[in-house]
Amino acid sequence: MTHYDLVVIGSGPAGHHAAIQGAKLGKSVMVVEAQPSVGGACLNTGTIPSKTLREVVLALCRARTRGVAPVHTPDAWDAAVREILARLQQVVRKEVDVYRAQFARNRVHVIHGSASFADVDRVVVDGIHARSEVVADRIVIATGTVPARSPLVPIDGRIVVDSDSVLGLRSLPRSMIIVGGGIIGLEYACIFAALGVAVTVVDLRPRLLEFADAEMVEALCYQMRDAGVVFRLGEEVESVTASPGAGVVAHLKSRKQLTGGTLLYTVGRQGNTAALNLGAVGIETDPRGRIPVDVHYRTAAPHIYAVGDVIGFPGLASAAMEQGRLAVRHAFAHPVTERRDGAFPYGIYTIPEISFVGRTEAELTEAGVPYEMGVAHYREIARGQIMGDVTGRLKLLFRRDTGELLGVHIIGEGAAELVHIGQTVLSYGGSIEYFVDNVFNYPTLAECYKVAALAGINRLAPWMRERNETEPALTGEGG
C-alpha cells in the first residue's frame, strides 16, 4: 500500500490546480482520474470543446458577412461539420497534453481508475487491469459534475442528447429543441442558431439567467430572437418521444407539442459523487449530489477537502482552479491572501457573450445601496465600428456618494476579456475616477470604461458633481 501526502480525486481544473499546488509545496501527490484522459469534463466534453466550437462558428459567421459564399448544400454542411469536429479534437488533444506535461514536470503521479473511500485515509482505485489502495494524509475531491438525467427524457446520444454527447452529433440537424435555458443551454442555442439550425429553447422559469444583470439578459434574448431562436418560457416538458428518421417530439404540460430533428437536454448537472462511497468517511451530499464545505473547502471530515463543481456555486472553471489552490494551501497550513467578496468574474459564452463582476442593480436595490450607473455603447467607440459590433455595451454601477465601483456588466464581443479591467479596480475598492483619470489605447474597446465613467458622473446632479470634484471621497474610501 503506497502512501502520499496528498491524493486528488479528479483531474479537471480544480483537481489539476490542487495537485500542482501540492507539488509546489514539496508534497508527494497522486491524482486519480476515472476517465482514460486527464482534464475532466472541462477539457474533454465541456468548456474547451464547446468554446472551440463557438470560435469556429464565429469565424464562419464573420466570413459570411465579409462576402464569403455561405454553405447551402447538405454535402457542404457535412464537410463543414467534419472540419469543426477535427478542430475540436485538435484543441482538446493539445490541452490534455499540457495537463499531462505539467503533471509529469511536477512529479505528480497519475493513475486511471474509479476511486472510492475504504476509510478516512484509504482510497481504493479500481483500474482497468488492477485494483490498488493508497493512503493519504490529505485528500481533495474534485470529481466535478455529470449531466442531470430525467426518466421523462430518453437520452440516446443520437437524437436526444445531453451536454456530454451533443458534440458527438455527426450531422447538423435542421431543427433543435433545447430543454433548459441555463448557461449551457443558451450557449449551445446561440451556436446552433448561428449555423442556421432552427432552435427552440424551453424553460420553466419566466426569466433566464436570473443571477445576471436584467438589462444584459434582455439584450441577449433580443439578439437571440433576431437570430431565429424561439423561447418557450414558463413551460415544462412532460415527456419526450423520439424515433430514428422521424425526429423528436417534446410534449409540454400545457399540452403543446414541439417537434425537432434533435433534442438537447440541459436541465442542470449532478455532483459526480455516487461511486465515492462517501458514507465510509462520514460525508453526506445534498439531493443533487453536491458536497457541503466550509469557507476553506473542508468537508465534514477535516482532512478531506472538496473543490470545483462538485461543491456547487459558482460552478465556474476559473473559480474551481482557485478553489483547488486555496484548499491545498489551507490543508498544509500555508497562508493565503484574503480577497474581496464578489470580485470573481462570470463569462457566459453566448453570441454575443456576457461577462460581469460585482453586484447587479437588483442586488443593490434590495440592499438599499444608493447607486448610479454609466453606460457606454460599442457603437460610440471607434473599435466597435471597426469590429462591426454596434450592439454591445458596457455598464458601470457605482455609489452615488463615494464613486466606489460596485459592478461591471458587459455584453458584446470581447466581454469576457474586457471585464478584467473592472475586476481589478473592484478588487481594491477603487472608484470610477480611475477610468476618468487614465488614458486607454485608441482604438480599443477598453475606452468604454472611460466613456461609461464620464456618462455616470454626468448623471449626477450638478451640486453632487461639484462636491465629488472637490471632496476626496471619490477615491473609493469610506461610504
Average pLDDT over residues 360-378: 97
* Single residue among 267, 294, 316 that ends a domain in this structure: 267
Q: How far apart are CA 167 and CA 452, in angstroms?
A: 39
Q: 341-350, 419-428, 430-439: which has the minimum mean pLDDT?
A: 341-350
Q: How far apart are CA 89 and CA 43, in angstroms?
A: 10
Residues 293 and 405 in one domain: no
Query: What are the distances in angstroms from CA 92 to CA 42, 53, 95, 101?
Result: 10, 11, 5, 14
Residues 67 and 84 in one domain: yes
Burial of 269 per CB tally in 10 Å (0-12, 13-18, 19+)? buried
* Single residue among 222, 241, 267 that ends a domain in this structure: 267
Q: 11-15, 62-66, 213-217, 341-345: which has the minimum mean pLDDT?
A: 62-66
Q: How far apart are CA 337 and CA 98, in angstroms?
A: 27
Domain encompassing residue 185: 160-267
| CATH number (domain holding residue 466) | 3.30.390.30
Do residues 360 and 216 lie in contact, with contact meaning Cβ atoms separated by under 8 Å?
no
Residues 9 and 134 in one domain: yes
68-127 residue pLDDT tens = 444 545 555 566 677 778 888 999 999 999 999 999 999 999 999 999 999 989 999 998
Residues 227 and 260 in one domain: yes
pLDDT score, position 472: 44
Average pLDDT over residues 400-424: 96
pLDDT at residue 182 is higher than 60: yes
> 441 pLDDT band (50/70/90 cuts)?
very high
Whether residue 153 lies inside any domain: the answer is no
Vertex 259, ends 255 and 265: CA angle to 5°?
90
Residues 363 and 469 in one domain: yes
Residues 303 and 447 in one domain: no
What is the SS3 assignment for 240? strand
pLDDT at residue 16 is higher than 70: yes
Q: How far apart are CA 328 and CA 317, in angstroms?
A: 17
Whether residue 283 lies inside any domain: the answer is yes
Residues 317 and 365 in one domain: no
Query: What are the distances in angstroms from CA 307 to CA 120, 144, 249, 315, 341?
Result: 18, 8, 38, 10, 18
pLDDT score, position 160: 96
How much is the CA Rg of the chain, to the nearest whole Å? Answer: 24
Query: What are the distances in angstroms from CA 99 to CA 7, 139, 203, 412?
Result: 17, 20, 36, 31
Whether residue 339 lies inside any domain: the answer is no
Q: How far apart are CA 102 and CA 343, in angstroms?
A: 28
Whether residue 338 lies inside any domain: the answer is no
Residues 358 and 418 in one domain: yes
Residues 429 and 396 in one domain: yes
pLDDT at residue 274 is higher than 50: yes
Whether residue 212 lies inside any domain: the answer is yes
pLDDT score, position 469: 57
The C-alpha cell of 297 is what? 473547502
Compare 219 and 172 and report the one with higher pLDDT: 219
Residues 225 and 294 in one domain: no
Q: How far apart are CA 169 and CA 159, in angstroms?
A: 9
30-47 residue pLDDT tens = 999 999 999 999 999 999
Residues 182 and 143 in one domain: no
Whether residue 20 lies inside any domain: the answer is yes
Report the number of distinct structural domains present in the chain: 3
Query: What are the distances in angstroms from CA 124 to CA 85, 111, 133, 267, 397?
Result: 36, 11, 5, 32, 51
pLDDT at residue 134 is higher than 80: yes
